[in-house]
């Protein structure tokens, strides 16, 4: 068993042009005052980190770490969700995902992919320089448009898709391996890695690369109606990162899992601020603790009703209350006594 670290907060949804959310100092002070002990840093936010410098300079990384520690915080992971998404993009999504790329690479998918691959590699080096062991990202998707295929998927299409996805990621995974950092793919709708089966397909396609791991976020499973508790039983050895995000699923006679193209607030499945959804986090924290998962509990705020500021305030306390301090003794030790082999034989009557 292992006590989960936290509470921590993913900063992506909080970065803003206004204070205190427009600088690393400001957002660290804000997070610390709310009771957070860690921050997950989105590497595309230049106000928080210069990824190029972090991959090139140990001095820069030492200064960054010291600044964060000065507020009583630790960096839990770096995130390349947006850049990881661009490692694999089907042409149907090119224009929409161009928003994640630098202006000079827009409408140039081939060069955009090369940039994304090299950027995620930089995050591996930066993670090592910062003393981190895990990294949060997306896999990207070549097959997502076929997840409910009509017409039916041609024979061999899925296998070819995962083979190509693995081909793109293997050079990145090797750089992470050289730097001693695990790649934690957020298992997420819109990604080719969106459930247990697809994770296993990708793992197999990479020849069981030891750096292929999971960012576990149960909110994405309740929207799929996947058993997010049993998922931990199947994949706990791969869970190296953890987003604490709530969700709910309330189907009606008019709408269900597909969403009806509705805005988030009107969907049957929608993300909610921590404590306002249906997810059984008490059982999740118990299982992750019992399995000894070495993770930070990182709040990810995404809610169509509640403000991010209120969600962050409430989330810190909820996570703190969910964290289980592992016991170092058995509850019935008081009733035990000294034994020897003869006593044991007598008890068994042998």
Map out the domains of the chain as residue ranges: 5-348
Pair 207, 158: CB distance under 8 Å: no
Q: What is the value of pTM for the model shown?
A: 0.96
198-203 contacts, C-beta under 8 A, 24 or more apart: 199/235, 199/238, 201/158, 201/162, 202/139, 202/162, 202/165, 202/166, 202/169
- Considering the domain 5-348 in this protein, what is its CATH number? 3.20.20.150
93: which 2 tokens?
A: 């999504």
Q: Which of the four pLDDT bands, split at 50, 70 and 90, describes residue 339?
A: confident
> In this predicted model, what pLDDT tens digit does every residue of 26-63 receive, in sequence order?
999 999 999 999 999 999 999 999 999 999 999 999 99
Q: Tell me the average pLDDT of the chain.
A: 97
> In this predicted model, what pLDDT tens digit does every residue of 122-148 receive, in sequence order?
999 999 999 999 999 999 999 999 999
- pLDDT number for residue 134: 98
């Amino acid at each position: 068993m292992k006590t989960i670290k936290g509470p921590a907060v993913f900063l992506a949804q909080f970065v803003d042009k206004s204070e205190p959310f427009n600088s690393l100092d400001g957002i660290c002070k804000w997070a610390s005052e709310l009771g957070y002990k860690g921050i997950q840093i989105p590497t595309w936010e230049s106000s928080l980190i210069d990824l190029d410098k972090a991959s090139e300079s140990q001095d820069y990384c030492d200064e960054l770490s010291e600044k964060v520690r000065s507020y009583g915080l630790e960096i839990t992971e770096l995130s390349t969700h947006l850049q990881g998404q661009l490692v694999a993009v089907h042409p149907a999504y090119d224009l929409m995902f161009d928003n994640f790329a630098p202006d000079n690479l827009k409408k140039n998918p081939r060069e955009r992919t090369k940039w994304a691959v090299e950027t995620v590699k930089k995050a591996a080096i930066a993670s090592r320089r910062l003393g981190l062991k895990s990294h949060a990202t997306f896999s990207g998707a070549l097959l997502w448009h076929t997840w409910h295929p009509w017409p039916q998927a041609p024979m061999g299409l899925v296998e070819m898709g995962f083979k190509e996805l693995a081909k793109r990621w293997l050079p990145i995974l090797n750089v992470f391996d050289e730097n001693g950092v695990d790649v934690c793919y957020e298992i997420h709708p819109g990604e080719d890695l969106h459930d247990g089966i697809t994770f296993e397909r990708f793992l197999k396609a990479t020849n069981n690369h030891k750096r292929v791991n999971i960012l576990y976020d149960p909110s994405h499973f309740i929207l799929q109606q996947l058993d997010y508790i049993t998922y931990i039983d199947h994949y706990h050895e791969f869970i190296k990162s953890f987003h604490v995000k709530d969700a709910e699923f309330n189907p009606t006679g008019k709408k269900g899992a597909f969403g009806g193209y509705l805005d988030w607030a009107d969907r049957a499945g929608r993300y909610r601020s921590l404590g306002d959804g249906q997810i059984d986090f008490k059982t999740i924290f118990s299982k992750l603790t019992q399995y000894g998962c070495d993770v930070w509990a990182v709040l990810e705020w995404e809610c169509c009703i509640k403000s991010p500021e209120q969600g962050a305030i409430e989330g810190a306390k909820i996570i703190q209350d969910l964290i289980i301090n592992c016991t170092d003794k058995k509850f019935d030790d008081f009733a035990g006594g000294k034994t020897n082999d003869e006593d044991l034989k007598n008890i068994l009557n042998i």
